[in-house]
Amino acid sequence: MAESGNKANNISVIAGDKPITFLIFKGIITLRPKPSVLTFSVAVLCLPCSEQDTKPQSKKEIRRNDLNMAQKKKVLRRFANIAFRFYNMIVVTGAAGFIPSCLIGKLNAEGYKAIVAVDDFSRADKAPNLEGKNIVQKIDRKAFPNWLETNGLEVEFVFHLGARTDTTEKSKEIFDELNLNYSKTIWTLCCRFQIPLVYASSAATYGNGELGYNDDHLHIPDLKPLNPYAQSKQDFDLWVLKQEKSPFFWAGLKFFNVYGPNEYHKGKMASVIFHAFHQIKKEGKMKLFQSHKPGIEHGHQQRDFVYVMDVVSVCVWLMHHRKDSGIYNLGSGKARTFLDLALATFKAMGIEPDIEFIPTPESIREGYQYFTEANMEKLKSIGYPQPFSTLESGVGEYVSEYLLPNRYF
């Protein structure tokens, strides 16, 4: 494939024995539901290269030209894919955070360069999460709604993953402002411009799990979150399900216990694997909470631990899928014990296990969860094809490739 032609408003591409001419106009036509076929912020027309194409043809010529047309269509699709990756903006909110920064890394690795990063960018300890990543623009969180109003036609997709995630914060007003109302504003703008949207919900909406972990929409109004953070996520899910207007595609993702690189800044809110690694590195052993529930042994409390690389793979798949809107669980689909997690961490570090069981603090004992497990059948039913990492493989990669060398993704 070679490029020729010097006119400012057209490009000719050689495919086979004939050039294809693309006329480029500055108007905006975005066929959002078909990104892999034709999605970019210019109108592209494919024209015959000479009058010979309109003359009567023999059957042999028709067959030959059919082959040439197939080549032309292949080049057009390739051109469209390149344009989508380089020119159509993908917005990621909370960009400097844990999951969003990994998503940007994943998008970059797949060739998507036109990333708009939205965050407050005020924390120096989060800056390394974005170092070396291809980002065309950084937008302050507060300025983003106005920016989207101005640039909405040029945005191909929005991943709204930014939120206040501190489960110990008790101020409902803070969560209403940062999680609920801000998300409503983004939803409304995505509706106006018909921008597909994936947003972060949370498995915390399931409360103590007494109603199970089923992501069926009919089940969601019955959930009973246990803290203001979880309630803010629940409130937005319920608001979304009541809306008559929506983007042509949207998905809310109930993240379970996500772990993986780029969580160095999270402090006490970092994953159990992160804390286990540093405790073992410092003391040579690990402390786990005792069980205070009859029939459950110490260390056999279970969680659905999901590797962040699996999470961002689902996000990118949904960006291409763009149908079957709804709220989905996003976990591994397999509950594992804290003892399993500890043993996997010791193994990845090459250290013999040394585990001490300590009483669960009285302040959290009553509401302590003994089991979480995402029902993943709904996501699988719409065609998600990839298997999820086992706890051992995910922890092994996280420890060996990121925590031990202190690397970022």
- pLDDT digits over 160-206, tens only? 998 776 656 666 777 777 788 999 999 999 999 999 999 999 999 99
123 residue type, one letter: R
The pLDDT of residue 82 is 53
Which among 213, 229, 259, 328 is annotated as catalytic? 229
* Structural domain spans, the chain: 2-85, 259-307+335-409
In this structure, which topology does domain 259-307+335-409 adopt according to CATH?
Answer: UDP-galactose 4-epimerase; domain 1 (3.90.25)
At residue 1, the pLDDT reads 36
Q: Give the model's pLDDT for residue 175.
A: 73
Q: Which of 138, 266, 285, 347 is catalytic?
A: 266
Q: How far apart are CA 120 and CA 127, in angstroms?
A: 11
Residue 134, exposed/middle/buried by CB under 10 A (0-12, 13-18, 19+)?
A: middle
- Among 209, 306, 327, 201, smallest CA distance to 260 is for 306
Is 229 annotated as catalytic? yes
Q: What is the pLDDT of residues 203-216, one digit of tens each?
A: 999 998 999 999 99
Residue 161, pLDDT score: 95
Three-state SS string across 116-150, please? EEEECCCCHHHHHHHCCCCCCEEEEHHHHHHHHHH
Catalytic site residue 384? no
Give pLDDT, residue 392: 98
What pLDDT is recorded for position 323? 93
Q: Which residues of 72-92 are buried (b: 16+ CB within 10 A; e: fewer)?
A: beebbeebbbebbbebbbbbb
pLDDT of residue 320: 95
Q: Which residues does the chain have with pLDDT short of 70?
A: 1-87, 165-171
What distance in Å separates the CA atoms of residue 290 and residue 307, rounded to the nearest whole number?
A: 25
